[in-house]
């Protein structure tokens, strides 16, 4: 009982931390900068630039906010169902689930509230779309899921 309680606490805590950091960063940007404005940089690494993304990853499905909002909500429900039905026990699997959920929730909130996602991190050394904290969580979740499957998932295939 105690171990499952501790697991639940760290998962909810990490999810909340990511969503709060994502919301604070996006609200700060929305309230202080104009679209396209560069408001900071890490030399040779990244610019911080306010972008409104009406699409999904790499701006696919641009201007399909209703569809993307519905897909985001379905994604969140699928993660909750996975958590309830599968009841993952391994740390890495739980980490992947938490990161996917937190990132998906962060961007779903934007889509529902603004009809776009606030992006602001623009890498200088790699031609990559502008992204945000929620996107980092989703990518980190994918890495955690891949590591779990490769190194820790012992199911027979």
Measured over the CA atoms of residue 135, residue 137, residue 140 and residue 141, the dihedral's sign is negative
| Confidence bin at 156 (pLDDT 50/70/90) | low
d(CA 117, CA 119): 6
pLDDT above 80 (res 62): no
pLDDT in tens, 64-87: 778 888 999 999 999 999 999 999
pTM summary value: 0.91
d(CA 128, CA 30): 22
Counting the structural domains of the chain, the total is 1
Q: Active-site positions?
A: 119, 135
| Confidence bin at 121 (pLDDT 50/70/90) | very high
Full residue range of the structural domain in which residue 21 is found: 2-152
pLDDT in tens, 19-44: 999 999 999 999 999 999 999 999 99
> Within a domain: residue 10?
yes
> Within a domain: residue 157?
no
User: E strands of the chain, at which residues?
Assistant: 38-42, 46-53, 117-123
């Amino acid at each position: 009982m105690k171990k499952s309680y501790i697991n639940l606490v760290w998962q909810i805590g990490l999810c909340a931390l990511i969503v709060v950091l994502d919301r604070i960063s996006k609200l700060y940007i929305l309230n202080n900068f104009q679209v396209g404005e560069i408001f900071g940089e890490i030399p040779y690494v990244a610019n911080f630039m306010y972008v409104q993304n009406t699409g999904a990853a790499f701006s696919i499905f641009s201007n399909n906010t209703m569809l993307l909002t519905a897909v985001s909500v379905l994604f969140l429900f699928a993660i909750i169902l996975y958590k309830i039905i599968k009841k993952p026990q391994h740390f890495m699997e739980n980490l992947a689930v938490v990161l996917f959920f937190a990132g998906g929730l962060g961007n779903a909130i934007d889509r529902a509230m603004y009809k776009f996602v606030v992006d602001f991190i623009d890498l200088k050394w790699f031609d990559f779309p502008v992204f945000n904290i929620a996107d980092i969580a989703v990518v980190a979740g994918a890495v955690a899921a891949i590591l779990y499957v490769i190194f820790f998932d012992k199911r027979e295939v």
